[in-house]
Structure 1
Amino acid sequence: MKEEGRLLAIPSGVDDFREIREGGYYFVDKSELVSDIVNDRSKVFLFTRPRRFGKSLNLSMIDAFFNLEYKGNKWFDGLKVNSHPEVEEHRNAYPVIRLCMKDLVADDVEGFNGRLKLMLKSVYRGFKYLRDSDLVDEDLRREYFSAGDLSDMQMERSVISLCQMLEQYHGVKPIVLIDEYDNPVNNAFNRDFYAGVMGSLRRFYSLTLKGNPHMSFAVVTGVMQIAKESIFSGLNNLRVDNVFSKKFDERYGFTEPEVKDLCSYYGHPEKFEEAKEWYDGYRFGNADIYNPWSLLTYICNDFEPGT
């Protein structure tokens, strides 16, 4: 593919699917992750991979496919997911709640809870059309769209309450996407407020994901697989996919054929062996995988390894 006779740009550091598809960037097609999710039919997916393996980009892609806000987009034209007709009824058919836990770092429990509440208030502002709708429960509207701060209990119930309001308004249960779910845990580890942060997250994730009757499904990403008893206590509907799992093994990171295509597209097919020597070495399930960030940096630097 070329755009107006020019090579597509290398998407190094770009983790927004819409930006890649609209901005003239090369896209390594991972869109069959969407059909995998639809056909698996699990209620909650947890994908854990090392950093810089495309977790945020894939979550952005999932949002772009399912979110009714983007109905009529052309972002998936020519991609592999279109060979799966069973997903068509799900295309841009759901409201989507998207949370990113990356910036929820603090020096005590109060600071963490305060940052989480501010993030949740920001998420609610994205659905302010619910505030004045007679289709939505009046008490919930008053409780969550008021100008005041959220209480701890409101914080813990905020996503399930938003799911309920969105289901009432749209007549369909929303999808919940949570990126970097474990980042607050990593920040608090070995610090004296660790137990407090874990307690807040355990209650928040449990109410959001465990038996939420107003949610279609959820996709959660992170680096670590934290012990289920520690943070997802009682969550029996969790589909964990980690570096040892086989079903989604090629959906994160670049496979060998994808690396060969990249080298050829940017004019240096002979560089594949060098790329293999420097950047191969990961094994997810049954797949040999290359780190996307390292490989794209290598190409950006005119195929100079180690820079």
Structure 2
Amino acid sequence: MNQQQRLYPIGIQTFSELITKNYLYIDKTEYVYRMTHSGAKYMFLSRPRRFGKSLLVSTLHSYFVGCKDLFAGLAIDRLETEWMEHPVLHFDMSTAKHMDKESLLDELEGKLLKYEEVYGRGEGEKKVNQRLQGVIERACRQTGKQVVVLIDEYDAPLLDVVHEEKNLPALRNVMRNFYSPLKACDPYLRYVFLTGITKFSQLSIFSELNNIKNISMDEKYGGICGITKEEMLTQMSDDIALLADKLDLTYEDAVSKLTDHYDGYHFTWPSSDIFNPYSLLNALADGRIESYWFGSGTPTYLIEMLNKFGVLPSRIGGVEAVASDFDAPTERMTSVVPLLYQSGYLTIKDCDRDFGVYSLDIPNREVRVGLMESLIPSYITKDTLTANTTVVNLARFLSRDDMDGALRLLQTFLSTVPYCDNARSEGHFQQVLYIIFSLLGYYVDVEVRTPVGRVDVVLRTKTTLYVMELKLDKTAESALNQINLKNYPERFALCGFPVVKVAVNFDSGRGTLESWVIE
């Protein structure tokens, strides 16, 4: 098999097209059977963007309209015996982004019109909720079958205004009104499924529809979207071998690189390791490791919410929380953690099941580097081209264990950055170093506890562990004295790397490094 023979479903969200054109398909139809034969009629699934939610909805659509031939040889083919056909109302709300109230109403009316052309429109049905209820009831009466309602990306109209106190309520009321008939139509409905990124409260969006089963953190559905490591290794092994050949790596090293960049997601605990499907498929198709998911668009609301809650770059990961704190309604959140988790910038890494406390962190290298790159304009400079070039050159210095050269380059770079008020604080420079070292792909942490104090910055490269103390408008010697007085290196004596002390003094007037000592 050569690489051209494998068709990767990048950007393809229609199940029938994927199957009939022989694209690679990771079989998720056992989940479809499980969902549609459970005791829950109304279900909601939250997953990050580009994780396969729309393909899942399309798969449900094909299943409910009875396209049995499409499922030949798949898991559901041996499970389903009836293949009942149902009228399906499928609403893709991703087309309703960046709209005001009037435009949103027009969009909803257009979506309803498509089904009214099939099932008719009742006299007196003017508002979108009336029209939705009418379509559902008529579809059921005319076909003699209960109706299936599929709503993909239900929250898309709201995401761009989630930080806006003025616009969010107006758009939220429109969507609440649109969804309001679902409970009244219960006798006419066979199944209702909604997907989204964020979790808005049932009270604010679904009104009285309080019986939605949220399967987002249900262990039975942990691998419903994305590609598990087992699926990758069993169904994509030839593709990995091709990638390894192209990158001149062993098979094991190729798996390691893919894992480092795209793995690490868990949406419940315990859970299989889950890869970002968009990034993984793009990497295999292109034959190279790049930032695909993050590079496909960082929502502006994310950066705005980070600023709103004053989240320092070094504090984005390493969070402990109970489920109700991070799997929480977005519009009631008191921290940015629910948005970061539901959007895929944080994921579950561990859980103390006795106390229900989850450990959340950045999933993988792609997300960590992407996040830090997106913060460069806010923390360092709007000249991202120069910043990225500097980061590459810093990596070259540190790969040779030349910390002195790296700091000289950093001194020159920061001296060209326009002055900002934050440069008056030591904490600002600490966050700048955190962002830059994170972009290098190395382990970096700040305020690391020791028995007698906290180390400002700890950096671990492939060969060396650096213990860094920072001062502002003092001297590098005073920073070194603090390292020695508190014997910070002792805390890392068993790390397996040589420990190097780095003492740095910043000049607030010039906004850059003034002097440093490396020992």
Which TM-score band (shorter chain)? 0.7 to 0.9
Partner of residue 259, structure 2: 276
Matched, 1:88 2:62: no
Contact 1:157 1:208 survives alignment (8 Å):
no
Q: How does 1:37-76 map to 2 (within 5 A)?
A: 37-68=35-66, 70=67, 73-76=68-71
Distance 1:210 1:104 in 2: 25
SS at 1:278 equivalent: helix
SS at 1:224 equivalent: coil
Distance 1:306 1:111 in 2: 34
Contact 2:137 2:185 survives alignment (8 Å):
no
Partner of residue 73, structure 2: 78
Distance 1:161 1:214 in 2: 11
Cα deviation 1:272-307 (Å, max 9, x = unaligned): 222112211111213221100010011011143546
Contact 1:7 1:266 survives alignment (8 Å):
no
C-alpha distance 123-169 of structure 1, shift in aligned 2 (>3 A): closer
Contact 2:115 2:135 survives alignment (8 Å):
no
Distance 2:161 2:84 in 1: 37
Distance 1:184 1:306 in 2: 26
Partner of residue 447, structure 2: none
Partner of residue 195, structure 1: 169
C-alpha distance 230-78 of structure 1, shift in aligned 2 (>3 A): same
Matched, 1:18 2:3: no
Partner of residue 232, structure 1: 206
Q: Which amino acid aligns with 2:92?
A: C
C-alpha distance 33-159 of structure 1, shift in aligned 2 (>3 A): farther
Contact 2:240 2:255 survives alignment (8 Å):
no
What is the Cα deviation at residue 105 of structure 1? 3.1
Q: How many residues align?
A: 279
C-alpha distance 54-81 of structure 1, shift in aligned 2 (>3 A): same
Structure with the bigger RCO (C-alpha within 8 Å, sep 6+) is 1
Moved over 6 A (4+): none
Residue from 32, 35, 38 that aligns with 1:34: 32
Q: Which amino acid aligns with 1:193?
A: N
What is the Cα deviation at residue 41 of structure 1? 2.5
C-alpha distance 209-26 of structure 1, shift in aligned 2 (>3 A): farther
Partner of residue 221, structure 2: 248
Report the RMSD for the aligned CA atoms in angstroms. Answer: 2.3
Contact 1:101 1:179 survives alignment (8 Å):
yes
SS at 1:216 equivalent: strand
Q: Which amino acid aligns with 1:82?
A: D
Contact 1:104 1:184 survives alignment (8 Å):
yes
Q: Which amino acid aligns with 2:17?
A: E
Q: Which amino acid aligns with 1:53?
A: F
Distance 2:221 2:199 in 1: 16
Contact 2:183 2:208 survives alignment (8 Å):
no
What is the Cα deviation at residue 163 of structure 1? 1.5
Partner of residue 171, structure 1: 144
C-alpha distance 305-118 of structure 1, shift in aligned 2 (>3 A): closer
Residue from 274, 279, 283 that aligns with 1:294: 279
SS at 1:275 equivalent: helix
Residue from 119, 123, 127 that aligns with 1:143: 123
What is the Cα deviation at residue 143 of structure 1? 2.9
Matched, 1:9 2:7: yes
Cα deviation 1:150-178 (Å, max 9, x = unaligned): 632xx112222112111111111111100
Unpaired runs of at least 5, structure 2: 242-250, 293-519
Cα deviation 1:78-100 (Å, max 9, x = unaligned): 1111232xx322x2521111111
Partner of residue 246, structure 2: none
Matched, 1:110 2:102: yes
Contact 1:44 1:209 survives alignment (8 Å):
no
Cα deviation 1:101-122 (Å, max 9, x = unaligned): 1111354322221221122112
SS at 1:283 equivalent: coil
Partner of residue 304, structure 1: 289
Contact 2:136 2:185 survives alignment (8 Å):
no
What is the Cα deviation at residue 142 of structure 1? 4.6
Higher strand proportion: 2
Contact 1:99 1:179 survives alignment (8 Å):
yes
Structure 2 length-normalised TM: 0.51
Q: How does 1:116-131 map to 2 (within 5 A)?
A: 116-125=108-117, 127=118, 130-131=119-120
SS at 2:219 equivalent: coil
Unpaired runs of at least 5, structure 1: 132-140, 145-149
Q: Which amino acid aligns with 1:143?
A: E
C-alpha distance 221-283 of structure 1, shift in aligned 2 (>3 A): same
Larger radius of gyration: 2
Residue from 215, 237, 240 that aligns with 2:189: 215
